[in-house]
């Protein structure tokens, strides 16, 4: 998975580099938007915790373009999803915070170790950090706002307690349900990314080379 010679990162001119990066960001953001619509419920977690694979494009973007590229992709796809938000924009904010943590962590690790093992470590670290960030982000930001808008914290905890009565505080609910759910989601996205990143990186290299040849004519 070595990509140190990727032309996207070292094209002939800054202008061509920016065009190539913007093209990659636009393509991956569009894929992320589509994947964000393809969400589904899973057993043994509250119904409002939906599984989707929209973090894959930003993870690929973090590998190709660095951590900031991954964050931009995450921001764009969530901004587009605001148009159909059913959570008063709070769900998109949560998705962005967790996705950005995933992309930044994975991108920073991979930037220092651009090998297959480095990519594996980047994915694992990204998933772990995303799961860890889900606790403070939900505890201090997301759930208090949800509670204010949608019937109070008791209503939210009631959805957890229908599955496990012992989840009688927000912190317990987050540690028992949200952390494992977020970790598994991150690991699934990481596994898929490991399978598709190499052929996709070749495709982006070919696209960038074609763009360079076209502009050199």
Where are the domains positioned within the chain? 14-204
- Worst-scoring range by mean pLDDT, 42-51, 69-78, 102-111, 131-140? 42-51
Residue 119 has pLDDT above 90, yes or no: yes
Q: What percent of the chain has pLDDT over 90?
A: 73
- Residue 10: what pLDDT? 44
Residue 214 has pLDDT above 70, yes or no: no
Residue 127, token pair as written in the block: 């998933």
Residue 69 has pLDDT above 60, yes or no: yes
Mean pLDDT for all residues in the chain: 89
Segment 189-199 shows an average pLDDT of 91
130, 102 contact by CB (below 8 A): yes
- Positive or negative torsion for Cα 128, 131, 136, 141: positive
The pTM of this model reads 0.87
- Residue 19: what pLDDT? 81
57 pLDDT band (50/70/90 cuts)?
very high
The CATH architecture of the domain made up of 14-204 is Orthogonal Bundle (1.10)
Segment 197-206 shows an average pLDDT of 78
Residue 24, token pair as written in the block: 């990659």
The whole-angstrom separation of Cα 22 and Cα 155 is 43
Residue 148 has pLDDT above 80, yes or no: yes
């Amino acid at each position: 998975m070595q990509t140190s010679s990727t032309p996207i990162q070292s094209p002939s001119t800054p202008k061509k580099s920016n065009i190539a990066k913007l093209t990659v960001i636009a393509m991956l953001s569009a894929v992320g938007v589509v994947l964000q619509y393809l969400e589904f419920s899973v057993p043994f977690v509250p119904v409002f915790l939906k599984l989707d694979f929209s973090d894959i494009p930003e993870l690929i973007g973090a590998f190709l373009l660095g951590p900031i590229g991954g964050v931009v992709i995450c921001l764009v796809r969530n901004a587009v999803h605001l148009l159909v938000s059913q959570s008063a924009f709070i769900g998109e904010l949560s998705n962005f915070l967790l996705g950005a943590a995933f992309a930044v962590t994975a991108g920073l690790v991979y930037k220092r170790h651009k090998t297959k093992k480095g990519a594996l470590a980047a994915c694992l670290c990204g998933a772990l950090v995303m799961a860890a960030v889900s606790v403070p982000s939900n505890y201090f930001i997301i759930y208090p706002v949800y509670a204010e808008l949608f019937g109070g914290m008791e209503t939210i905890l009631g959805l957890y307690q229908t599955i496990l009565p012992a989840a009688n505080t927000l912190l317990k609910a987050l540690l028992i349900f949200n952390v494992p759910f977020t970790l598994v989601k991150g690991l699934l996205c990481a596994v898929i990314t490991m399978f598709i990143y190499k052929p996709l990186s070749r495709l982006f290299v070919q696209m960038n080379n074609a763009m360079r040849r076209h502009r050199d004519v």
